């Protein structure tokens, strides 16, 4: 079985390479095939020991259907092999164990999983990891760190713009993108631009205040 | 250097904004960890004829499948009545009720295995409404009643009467972080259970019972929740129980994370209510008598329904003195997931009923509802005893009314709304002021206790552990501030630790708004014990260094990180110095504190007592505008004024008030649970279940507090704030009802809760069609629904 998988995998990779990436045929053909395999991560600093998907299987053996993809996350290059069906969200959280990005509804309706792809905000649960080969991805960890907070992160603290914190990274990534979007100056403009991120704790007025605080200083 | 009363950021502030705050699904997985999921009942009511998971076990990566037969303990539990099972035996009583637990090494195997389990379930006739349960006379628990005076007689004799039914919908908690648990097995069948729960002790007790363990073999740990709102109190037992079963059986760590869809479909919600009432009143709208029969939809098991119903019955008076009251309540057994705690806990459904009645009385008498409310408002020296016999001390309701009527410009805006509605052919406006008087304490007196552990380390830093769980409401920040203030040290020296049953035993749920009241008081008690011992050490020290003052611990002062004898304030010890000195003198630098609320009690057999330590009160004025042709409604302005005593952390409290209001507004407007005729939830994702988003927030939202230093019965004069503001959302619903009065031209309009756009449009259409159906005279009560 392992032998066969290895063949499948290399075969698929050849086809994909030939087609310059994922082909519909190769994609479909490998639906249902087992698992993903993460290649050795450079440095491996952020990685969990193993991902949930690879746990069962001998990690030395590449898994059928896995596709190579290189993601630049928070300026760090990650060369991976992932099941082509893996969402960008799961890839970030499960394969790379970068967990600041949260899974809320997993259907692109709540905004908790918002990240930046090449500077634009994206619901990471609605896009596949393999579609982002070479893309620059920024997660909340890349926006700012505890000792080097982004002005928005500081403003969120000043304004108590969270309660439970679960939607916060998504709110911040949306807000950070908004700063570079052609968004008007009024509160209504902010509401429109932030309407894709829901907060069950109801911290909305404070979120608006935090965004306005940063925009006023800019 | 007191920090209490000042704004201090949430103690997870930096973690939340930087993504470093850890929730259960963020915890690193162990090499041999298993993922857990379940197969539940396909029908709302069924006889389980056979369960076959043999094909599932053949799937590569599937490690185990379990049914109730594999439970080593007793498959029966419940927070009040023991009527719930962890895994169905031969009967299932709601869609998704767990039958088979599956453990696998990969998500893929888990998903395949779920499909491979074969169930043969004979579908039985379910009860899918309150009416259906009433017809079957199928109730959970007994009938509860609170009565005062002679409502029956007064109703017979009164000049004005109304009767009707309030239809009140449920609510999905929609915490962003779904139910989650990670269980790590240890030696001798000991388990460490990381659970996203508001009630670690309940998880511990239930797990021990169903798994046949001693309670001391189960440690439940809760770092934080991504929202709880009541939904992670008793409802967290199933996920934790299933993961614990796997961990115990396989000796491998086991993790369960519900998908948002499954969480919405298969876990319990806020109780829908259907409340029949008869009310008698005088020409001024003053209520003379109220008879009400409350029917709560309890779902398939008792869960916390008894307590929820109790709070509905004790809150049906809201802010109004009702001389003759007869309130009865029953819990209907239906085939939905057991309805459960949800911020407000029955209070909102009781208050919605009386606020609806008040709106009806005003419409009937053609008065401003504000005047009817003022005519009924609890007084400060008379008419200030609730229908269950509790005296309102320091009643601030009249003050709140007066101030908010002024600050919101209510009277003037009423005229503007009159004018607008007489002129506009496209839109309707409505205006309403609703109050809240929310009783603070668990109605079950036993639960009003807490313990805390305070440990001081040799560098002067402190760890505090309590049974309170952090779900964003800021309880840890409050406790940190209280502890820092006790020793008068920098709050940076204090860390509130992860909640664990290992450190705090037999804790109450973080619920009833009382987490800071109870756990904060227990922490303060622990600090005071340590301070007494440290003061003795300090007194002996100053006696040595100052001639002739003697060692008097009572004269020792802790201030600004220093300790001194108040008679010689120039000679100070640093906090850290006294800590080291106390250690050298072999004085304990760790204590356990305890707190039990005094002077409360309630006797359900008589329906009388004083169950609450105090009341948190507030008022909200809301103005709405409705499109006459589509029913679409927008909240234009909201003015909130609350009495929360002396706030421990005004910033955090403000967040709670605004957030609570927003959640209440969602409940009364757009959050509608739609089920299929088979009992399956259809609105199970944010696309179909509409919680308030940023655009639903009123353009003008004012939130203020009155100054009230009189709540000395509670820690630092504060008042609990978690639930009460949710009930202020009802102002929005009342404003919609107010708008309908304008459209009805004299009719008393019907309005179910939630007032969705569809509901509003239906009512508008109805009002156009019907003529005046309300009889203004005679002994027959007017029917309004």
- pLDDT tens digit sequence for B357-388: 999 999 999 999 999 999 999 999 999 999 99
Structure tokens at B148: 């005062």
- What is the ipTM, given to two decimal places? 0.96
pLDDT tops 80 at residue A20: no
Query: Among residues B177, B486, B671, B723, which one is catalytic?
Result: B723
Helices B347-365 and B305-314: angle between axes, nearest 10 degrees = 30
In the beta sheet, which residues pair with residue B610?
B601
Whether residues A115 and A191 share a domain: the answer is: yes
Classified by CATH at the fold level, domain B449-596 comes out as: Aldehyde Oxidoreductase; domain 4 (3.30.365)
Confidence of residue B783 (pLDDT cuts 50, 70, 90): low
Classify residue B560 as left (phi > 0), alpha (psi -120 to 50) or beta: left
Give the Å distances, CA to CA, from B98 to A182, B239, B463, B517.
49, 10, 39, 36
Whether residue A8 has pLDDT greater than 50:
no
Query: Counting one residue from A and one from B, how many pairs have CB atoms under 8 Å apart?
Result: 195
Cβ <8 Å between A102 and B28: no
Q: Which of A49, A139, A202 sits opposite B658 (nearest CB)?
A: A202
A64 pLDDT band, cuts 50/70/90, is confident
Distance, in angstroms, between A100 CA and closest chain B CA?
4
Closest CA to B703 of A155, A191, A170, A160: A160
The reply to whether A113 and A49 lie within a common domain is no
B211-246 pLDDT, tens digit each: 999 999 999 999 999 999 999 999 999 999 999 999
CB B343 within 8 A of CB B723: yes
Output the pLDDT for position A11: 43
Candidates B620, B647, B615, B625; CA nearest to B703 is B620
Contact B383, B395 (CB under 8 A): no
Q: Where are the domains of chain B?
A: 32-126+173-266, 273-443+604-776, 449-596
- For residue A49, which residues of chain B lie inside 8 Å, CB to CB? 28-31
User: Does residue A34 register a pLDDT over 60?
Assistant: no
Instruction: Tell me what pLDDT residue B781 has.
Output: 56
CATH 3.10.290.10 given to domain B32-126+173-266? no
Same domain, A52 and A151: no
Chain B residue numbers touching A201 (CB-CB < 8 A):
227, 472, 655, 659
Token couple for B270:
């806020």
User: Do A206 and A144 share a structural domain?
Assistant: yes
DSSP designation for B22: -
pLDDT tens digit string along B286-303?
Answer: 999 999 999 999 999 999
- Determine the Cα–Cα distance for residues B273 and B686; give it in Å rounded to an integer: 24
The pLDDT score that the predictor gives to residue B769 is 83
The verdict on a CB contact (< 8 Å) between B23 and A145 is no
Q: In degrees rounded to 5, what are phi and psi of residue B538? A: -65, -40
Residues A110 and A129 in one domain: yes
Q: What is the pLDDT of residue B43?
A: 98
Q: Which residue has the tokens 């309004």?
A: B784
CA distance B10 to chain A (A): 7
Could you list the beta-strand ranges (E) of B44-90. 46-52, 62-66
Contact A50 B31 (CB under 8 A): yes
A168–B177 C-beta distance less than 8 A: no
The chain A residue lying nearest B261, using CA atoms, is: A105
Task: Tell me the pLDDT tens digit for each residue of B631-660.
Answer: 999 999 999 999 999 999 999 999 999 999
The answer, yes or no, to whether residue A61 has pLDDT greater than 60, is no
The string of pLDDT tens digits covering residues A76-123 is 999 999 999 999 999 999 999 999 999 999 999 999 999 999 999 999
Distance CA B752, CA B130 (A): 15
Q: Do B694 and A48 touch (CB under 8 A)?
A: no
Question: What's the average model confidence in pLDDT over B687-697?
Answer: 97
Domain boundary among A37, A59, A81: A59
With contacts defined as CB-CB under 8 Å, which chain B residues touch A165?
Answer: 12, 15-16, 21, 224, 226, 472
Whether residue B760 contacts residue B631, with contact meaning beta carbons closer than 8 Å, is answered with yes
User: What is residue B768's predicted lDDT score, i.e. its pLDDT?
Assistant: 86
Report residue A17's pLDDT band, with 50, 70 and 90 as the boundaries. very low
Chain centroid offset of residue B113 CA: 37
Enumerate the residues of chain A whose CB falls inside 8 A of the CB of residue B26: 93, 99
Let me know: does A12 contact A25? Beta carbons within 8 Å.
no
Please state, in angstroms and as integers, the Cα–Cα distance from residue B8 to each residue in A74, A100, B491, B496, B750, following that order: 31, 24, 10, 15, 45
Q: Give the mean model confidence (pLDDT) for residues A37-58.
A: 37
pLDDT > 90: percent of chain B: 97
- Are B700 and B593 a contacting pair, CB within 8 Å? no
The verdict on a CB contact (< 8 Å) between A149 and B660 is: no
Closest partner CB to A140 (pick from B14, B19, B658): B19
Residues of A in contact with B655 (CB under 8 A): 160, 163, 201, 203, 206
Closest CB from A49, A50, A163 relative to B472: A163
For residues B77-95, give the mean pLDDT: 97
Structure confidence at residue A21 (pLDDT): 45
User: Which residues in A lie closer than 8 A to residue B176 (C-beta atoms)?
Assistant: 102, 104, 110, 112, 164, 166-167, 198-200
Mutate to test the interface with B, among A176, A190, A200, A211 (most CBs of B within 10 A): A200
Q: List, in sequence order, every residue forming a beta bridge with B393; answer none if it has no partner.
A: none
Whether A207 and B694 lie within 8 Å, measured CB to CB: yes
- Confidence band (pLDDT; 50, 70, 90) for A46? very low
CA distances from B632 to A31, B152, B166, B627, B696 (A): 45, 41, 22, 5, 12
Chain A nearest-CA distance from B260, in A, is 5
**What's the DSSP call for residue B187?**
G
| Cα dihedral A91, A94, A95, A98 sign | positive
Q: Domain range holding A44?
A: 2-59
| Measured CA distances, A39 to A24, A43, B294 (Å) | 23, 12, 62
For B564-622, the pLDDT digits (tens) are 999 999 999 999 999 999 999 999 999 999 999 999 999 999 999 999 999 999 999 99
Same domain membership, residue A206 and residue A105: yes
A109·B685 Cβ contact <8 A: yes
CATH of the domain at A96: 3.10.20.30
d(CA B684, CA B266): 10
**DSSP states of B648-698 as a string?**
S-HHHHHHHHHHHHHHHHHHHTT----B-TTS-BS--STTTS----GGGS-
Give the model confidence (pLDDT) of B445-479 as tens digits: 999 999 999 999 999 999 999 999 999 999 999 99
How many CB atoms are closer than 10 A to CB A182? 7
Distance, in Å, from the CA atom of B19 to the CA atom of A170, rounded to the nearest integer, reads 10
Per-residue pLDDT, A9: 40
**What is the tally of structural domains in chain A?**
2
Burial (CB count <10 Å: 0-12, 13-18, 19+), residue B773: exposed
Helix orientation angle between B730-744 and B650-668, rounded to the nearest 10 degrees:
40
| Rounded Cα–Cα distance for residues B479 and B465 (Å) | 9
Task: Name the fold adopted by B273-443+604-776.
Answer: Aldehyde Oxidoreductase; domain 4 (3.30.365)
What 3-state DSSP class applies to B31? coil
A110 with B20: Cβ contact below 8 A? no
Last residue of a domain, one of A59, A78, A107: A59
A188, A111: one domain:
yes
**Whether residues A51 and A71 fall in one domain:** no
Q: Are B334 and B127 in contact (CB under 8 A)?
A: yes
Place of tokens 């029953």: B330
Q: What is the pTM of this model?
A: 0.93
**Dihedral sign from CA coordinates of A179, A182, A187, A193:** negative
Would you place residue A50 in the very low, low, confident or very high pLDDT band (cuts 50, 70, 90)? Answer: very low
- Is B723 assigned a catalytic role? yes
User: CA–CA separation, B397 vs B618, rounded Å?
Assistant: 7
DSSP A128: B
Query: pLDDT tens for residues A174-185?
Result: 999 999 999 999
Contacts of A101 in chain B (CB under 8 A): 19
| Residue A113 vs residues A154, A210, B173: alpha-carbon distances, Å | 20, 20, 20
A55 and A71 share one domain: no
Residues A52 and A109 in one domain: no
Q: Do the domains B32-126+173-266 and B273-443+604-776 sit in the same CATH topology, yes or no?
A: yes
Residues A103 and A200 in one domain: yes
Structure tokens at A70: 């290189």
Mean confidence (pLDDT) of chain A: 80
Q: Which of A83, A201, A206 to mutate to probe the B interface, most B CBs <10 Å?
A: A201
Closest chain A C-alpha to B673 CA, distance in angstroms:
17
Mean pLDDT of chain B, nearest integer: 96
Q: Where are the beta strands (DSSP E) in B414-488?
A: 427-440, 449-456, 462-466
Say whether A201 and B18 touch across the interface (CB within 8 A).
no
Verify cis geometry, omega within 30 degrees of 0, for the bond prior to B751. Answer: no
Secondary structure in 3-state letters for B230-248: CCCCHHHHHHHHHHHHHHH
Chain B residues with CB inside 8 Å of A167's CB? 176
Q: How close is the nearest chain B Cα to the Cα of A18, in Å?
A: 29
At residue A201, does pLDDT exceed 70? yes
The DSSP H or E segment spanning A194 is none
Q: Are B77 and B8 in contact (CB under 8 A)?
A: no
Beta-carbon contacts of B651 under 8 Å, excluding residues fewer than 6 positions away, are A160, B7, B8, B9
Pick B226's closest partner by Cβ from A99, A165, A194. Answer: A165
Residue labelled with tokens 């009565």 = B147
Angle at A49 between CA A44 and CA A53, to 5 degrees: 110
Q: How high is the pLDDT of residue A63?
A: 63
Average pLDDT over residues B538-567: 95
pLDDT band at B718 (very low <50, low <70, confident <90, very high): very high
């Amino acid at each position: 079985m392992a032998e066969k998988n290895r063949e499948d995998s290399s075969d698929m990779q050849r086809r994909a390479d030939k087609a310059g990436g994922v082909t519909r045929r190769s994609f479909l053909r490998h639906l249902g095939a087992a698992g993903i395999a993460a290649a050795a991560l450079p440095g491996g600093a952020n990685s969990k020991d193993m991902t949930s998907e690879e746990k069962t299987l001998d990690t030395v053996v590449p898994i059928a259907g896995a596709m190579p993809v290189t993601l630049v996350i928070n300026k760090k290059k990650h060369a991976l092999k992932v099941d082509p069906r893996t969402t960008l969200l799961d890839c970030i959280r499960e394969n790379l164990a970068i967990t600041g990005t949260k899974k809320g509804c997993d259907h692109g309706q709540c905004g908790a999983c918002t990240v930046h792809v090449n500077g634009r905000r994206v619901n990471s649960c609605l896009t596949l990891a393999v579609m982002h080969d070479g893309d620059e991805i920024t997660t909340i960890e890349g926006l700012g760190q505890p000792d080097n907070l982004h002005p928005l992160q500081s403003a969120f603290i000043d304004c108590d713009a969270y309660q439970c914190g679960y939607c916060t990274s998504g709110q911040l990534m949306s807000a950070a993108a908004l700063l570079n979007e052609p968004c008007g100056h009024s509160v209504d403009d902010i509401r429109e631009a932030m309407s894709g991120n829901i907060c069950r704790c109801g911290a909305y007025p404070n979120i608006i205040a935090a965004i306005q605080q940063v925009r006023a200083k800019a | 250097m007191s920090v209490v009363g000042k704004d201090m950021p949430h103690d997870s502030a930096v973690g939340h904004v930087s993504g470093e705050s850890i929730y259960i699904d963020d915890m690193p997985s162990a090499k041999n960890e298993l993922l857990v999921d379940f197969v539940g009942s396909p029908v709302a009511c069924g006889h389980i004829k056979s369960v076959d998971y043999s094909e599932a076990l053949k799937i590569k990566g599937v490690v185990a499948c379990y049914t109730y037969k594999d439970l080593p303990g007793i498959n029966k539990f419940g927070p009040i009545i023991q009527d719930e099972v962890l895994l169905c035996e031969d009967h299932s009583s709601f869609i998704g009720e767990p039958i088979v637990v599956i453990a696998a090494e990969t998500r893929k195997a888990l998903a395949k295995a779920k499909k491979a389990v074969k169930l043969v379930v004979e579908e039985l006739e379910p009860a899918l409404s309150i009416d259906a349960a009433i017809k079957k006379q199928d109730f959970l628990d007994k009938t509860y009643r609170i009565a005062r005076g002679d409502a029956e007689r007064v109703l017979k004799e009164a000049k004005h009467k109304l009767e009707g039914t309030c239809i009140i919908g449920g609510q999905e908690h929609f915490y962003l972080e779904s139910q989650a648990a990670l269980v790590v097995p240890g030696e001798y069948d000991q388990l460490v259970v990381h659970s996203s729960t508001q009630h670690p002790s309940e998880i511990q007790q239930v797990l021990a019972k169903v798994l046949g363990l001693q309670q001391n073999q189960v440690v439940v740990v809760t770092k934080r929740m991504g929202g709880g709102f009541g939904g992670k109190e008793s409802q967290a037992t199933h996920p934790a129980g299933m993961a614990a079963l796997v961990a115990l059986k396989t000796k491998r760590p086991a993790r369960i994370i519900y998908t948002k869809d499954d969480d919405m479909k298969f876990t319990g919600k806020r109780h829908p209510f259907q409340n029949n009432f008869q009310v008698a009143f005088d020409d001024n709208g003053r209520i003379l008598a109220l008879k009400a029969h409350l029917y709560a939809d309890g779902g398939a098991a008792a869960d916390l329904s008894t307590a929820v119903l109790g709070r509905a019955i004790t809150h049906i008076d809201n802010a109004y003195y009702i001389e003759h009251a007869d309130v009865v309540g029953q819990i209907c057994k239906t085939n939905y997931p057991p309805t459960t705690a949800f911020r407000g806990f029955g209070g909102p459904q009781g208050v919605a009923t009386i606020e609806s009645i008040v709106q009806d009385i005003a419409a009937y008498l053609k008065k401003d509802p504000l005047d009817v409310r003022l005519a009924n408002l609890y007084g400060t020296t008379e008419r200030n005893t609730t229908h269950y016999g509790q005296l309102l001390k320091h009643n601030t309701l009249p003050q709140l009314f007066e101030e908010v009527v002024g600050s919101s410009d209510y009277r003037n805006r009423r005229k503007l709304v009159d004018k607008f509605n007489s002129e506009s052919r496209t839109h309707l406006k409505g205006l309403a002021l609703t109050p809240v008087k929310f009783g603070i304490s668990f109605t079950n007196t036993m639960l009003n206790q807490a313990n805390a552990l305070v440990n001081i380390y040799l560098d002067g830093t402190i760890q505090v552990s309590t049974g309170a769980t952090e779900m964003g409401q800021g309880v840890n920040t409050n406790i940190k501030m209280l502890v820092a203030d006790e020793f008068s040290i920098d709050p940076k020296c204090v860390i509130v630790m992860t909640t664990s049953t290992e450190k705090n035993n037999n804790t109450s749920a973080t619920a009833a708004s009382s987490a800071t009241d109870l756990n904060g008081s227990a922490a303060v008690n622990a600090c005071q014990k340590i301070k007494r011992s440290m003061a003795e050490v300090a007194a002996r020290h100053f006696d040595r260094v100052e001639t002739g003052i003697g060692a008097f611990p009572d004269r020792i002062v802790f201030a600004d990180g220093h300790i001194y004898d108040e008679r010689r304030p120039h000679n100070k010890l640093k906090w850290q110095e006294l800590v080291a000195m106390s250690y050298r003198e072999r004085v304990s630098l760790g204590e356990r504190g305890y707190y039990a609320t005094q002077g409360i009690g309630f006797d359900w057999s008589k329906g009388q007592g004083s169950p609450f330590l105090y009341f948190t009160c507030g008022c909200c004025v809301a103005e709405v505008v409705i499109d006459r042709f589509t029913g679409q409604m927008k909240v234009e302005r909201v003015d909130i004024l609350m009495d929360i005593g002396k706030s421990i952390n005004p910033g955090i409290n403000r967040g709670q008030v605004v957030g609570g209001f927003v959640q209440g507004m969602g409940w009364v407007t757009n959050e509608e649970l739609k089920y299929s005729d088979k009992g399956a939830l259809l609105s199970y994702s944010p696309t179909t279940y509409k919680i308030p988003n940023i655009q639903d927030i009123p353009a003008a939202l004012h939130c203020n507090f009155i100054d009230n230093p009189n709540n000395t019965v509670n820690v630092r004069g504060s008042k609990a704030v978690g639930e009460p503001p949710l009930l202020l959302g009802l102002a929005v619903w009342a404003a919609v009802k107010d708008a309908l009065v304008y459209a009805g031209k004299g009719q008393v309009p019907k309005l179910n809760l939630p007032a969705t756009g569809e509901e509003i449009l239906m009512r508008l259409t109805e009002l156009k069609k019907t003529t005046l159906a309300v009889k203004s005279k005679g002994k027959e009560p007017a029917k309004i629904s």
